[in-house]
Structure 1
Amino acid sequence: MEYAVARDGMVDSLEHDLRGVVEPDPVGTAMRAVPRHEFVDADHRAYTDRSFEAYGTRVLAPSTAGALVQALAPNPGDDVLIVGVGVGYTAAVLAEIVGPEHVHAVDIARRVVWAARDNLRRAGYAEALVDRRDGARGLPEYAPFDRILVEAAALDVPAALREQLAPDGRLVMPLGAGDQRLATVEAGDEVRDGQVVSFAPLLVEGEQDGVPARNRTAREDREHARRHAERRRGWELDWIDWG
């Protein structure tokens, strides 16, 4: 009962505060149904609107997760791809709207994938698919997708994700390096004037947490001499195939 009251209070604030982050239906309804405490340990107060680090990734604040789903505008039965599954909470919210069998999520970090699978199973969304993949390459064997949500930033939309988007589909992701904005891609048109956001960069294979910074990928080795990529973070944004 305590959790239900806290959850309703959280969603009420997202629907009715000056921010007006989410609409009551379907996003607000979905967020009221998802037991976020199954995805977030007690120390982080599941129904407090704040982000934090877990498993080497940032867990989005409820307001950020809600804003992403609101921008994605999913419909029941849509096939959805999530790039950057995190702890699985956003996947669960989407599962409430489209159905868990229509949710496909990938992450480059194995321990994040394991945690998300376990969280989703425990919360009642075991049918949602979570796989360890290079997010910039998507999940071609399940394409096309009606909706694609990328929970990591890049300079442009990776070509593989554009190719896997259905003709009448919608893709939402943060674009930019220092100054990021939430962008929406729909029917080939791109709108970048969404809200200002701050996300970690989209990493490709070899650039994930725990890999030595100076030997992350064969591509890095080839490029280093002329690019002088000395920074640990940020330079990986330049080397995804944008198409």
Structure 2
Amino acid sequence: MAADTRARVGPFKSLGTDRGGMEYAVARDGMVDSLEHELRGVVDPDPVGTAMRAVPRHEFVDADHRAYNDRSFEAYGTRVLAPSTAGALVQALAPDPGDDVLIVGAGVGYTAAVLAEIVGAEHVHAIDIARRVVWAARDNLRRAGYPGVLVDRRDGARGLPAYAPFDRILVEAAALDVPAALREQLASDGRLVMPLGAGEQRLATLDAGDEVREGEPVAFAPLLVEGEQGGVPARNRTAREDREHARKHAERRRGWELDWIDWD
């Protein structure tokens, strides 16, 4: 799978002869080597490590070679996960080739690209509540060689029912419980991975039909619902609406609430 994708990505076919490409490839291998090292054991060499070696992370993080440092970035009002975090999520998800995958919280598209290397781009569906993030993810994925990944603007808690059921669902945002819609959209033998909790979060795994299993502590932004995303203009009531609201409220008051009645 990885070899096919590399052949599809035009600028990266000649990594051995292009100095800039070679430097990125070396940096990428060093990044994945550290994640596979026995002292860390974040990802297994196959398939997650192989997939991460194939994805040009610098196309998703505007930071040149620093894109391959194990650190997070901020972009488009969202957090770009550190490679170790993204790798741990995909490792926990345990996708197989051909699995239909839903990613809730598309971010800049990097995790979607890693999953595309494993299951195939046409099997990856990513949604995000922020329109600006969706546009960025689409552009990044196209430029990196994964135009077949579907990215749409949706309320993550509602999932993507038109393409359900999904063999794997990955949620890159935290909630107190697994949203009911995502449970319903999980295939009968599927797996869902997401952070659960408020102040203290744990990475949870749900295999369809089983109880939620909580794992390592994590820290993710909360799963937003419609209207909470950044970039949504707030609509203030007009002065007329304020007067009408006050009048209707006054008319609803009864008995002792009416301060103009002389009860004595």
* Superposition TM-score tier, normalisation by shorter sequence: 0.7 to 0.9
Q: Is the 8 A contact 2:165 2:186 kept in 1?
A: yes
Q: Is the 8 A contact 1:204 1:240 kept in 2?
A: no
* C-alpha distance after superposition, 1:201-224 (max 9, x if no partner): 000100111346898999999999
* C-alpha distance after superposition, 1:58-116 (max 9, x if no partner): 10000000000000000000000000010000000000000000000000000000000
% identity of equivalent residues = 91
Give the 3 Å change call, closer, same or farther, for CA 236–116 of structure 1 in structure 2.
Answer: farther
Normalised by the length of structure 1, the TM-score is 0.86
Root-mean-square deviation (Å): 9.8
Aligned length: 243
Give the 3 Å change call, closer, same or farther, for CA 116–30 of structure 1 in structure 2.
Answer: same
Structure number with larger C-alpha Rg: 2
Normalised by the length of structure 2, the TM-score is 0.80
Matched, 1:180 2:213: no
Q: Which moved more, 1:223-232 or 1:52-61?
A: 223-232
Match of 1:65 in 2: 86
Distance 2:93 2:129 in 1: 22
* C-alpha distance after superposition, 1:28-76 (max 9, x if no partner): 0000000001101026811000012110111000000000000000000
Distance 1:142 1:156 in 2: 23
SS of corresponding position for 2:203: strand
Q: Is the 8 A contact 1:88 1:120 kept in 2?
A: yes
Matched, 1:123 2:144: yes
Q: Is the 8 A contact 2:99 2:123 kept in 1?
A: yes
Q: Which moved more, 1:64-73 or 1:188-197?
A: 188-197
Q: Which moved more, 1:36-45 or 1:230-239?
A: 230-239
Give the 3 Å change call, closer, same or farther, for CA 172–227 of structure 1 in structure 2.
Answer: farther
Distance 1:19 1:241 in 2: 76
Give the 3 Å change call, closer, same or farther, for CA 216–128 of structure 1 in structure 2.
Answer: farther
Q: Which moved more, 1:182-191 or 1:65-74?
A: 182-191
* Structure 2 unaligned residues grouped into runs of 5+: 1-21
After TM superposition, give the deviation of residue 18 of structure 1 in Å: 1.6
Q: Is the 8 A contact 1:205 1:217 kept in 2?
A: no
Q: Which moved more, 1:34-43 or 1:166-175?
A: 34-43
Give the 3 Å change call, closer, same or farther, for CA 4–221 of structure 1 in structure 2.
Answer: farther
Q: Which moved more, 1:204-213 or 1:177-186?
A: 204-213
* Structure 1 unaligned residues grouped into runs of 5+: none
SS of corresponding position for 2:205: strand
Distance 2:60 2:105 in 1: 15
Give the 3 Å change call, closer, same or farther, for CA 79–213 of structure 1 in structure 2.
Answer: same
